């Protein structure tokens, strides 16, 4: 179940990143992480995200953490 949620969050992050016209590198800079981490999140085996990371991604993508968790 957690793996499915992580994949959904990763897909949402990727979708919003593209809508914002950002590369993985640019998003990584905004979130203060490596682009390799962004790649992992958007990939097939994403890591578990901490609430603080989810908040940083949401802020960088001009959305809310709840919207990243939603369908």
Express each pLDDT in 6-57 by its tens digit.
999 999 999 999 999 999 999 999 999 999 999 999 998 899 999 999 999 9
Burial 40-63 (b: 16+ CB within 10 A, else e): ebbeeebeebeeebbebbbebbeb
**Cα–Cα distance for residue pair 4/70, rounded to 1 Å:** 12
47 is in which domain, residue-wise? 2-69
The total number of structural domains in the chain stands at 1
Q: Specify the pLDDT at position 1.
A: 59
State the pTM of this model. Answer: 0.91
Secondary structure class of 62 (helix, strand, coil): coil
């Amino acid at each position: 179940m957690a793996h499915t949620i992580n994949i959904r969050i990763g897909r949402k992050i990727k979708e919003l990143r593209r809508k914002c016209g950002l590369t993985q590198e640019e998003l990584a800079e905004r979130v203060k992480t490596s682009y390799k981490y962004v790649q992992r999140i958007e990939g097939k085996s994403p890591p578990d995200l901490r609430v603080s990371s989810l908040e940083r991604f949401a802020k960088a993508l001009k959305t809310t953490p709840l919207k990243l968790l939603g369908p």
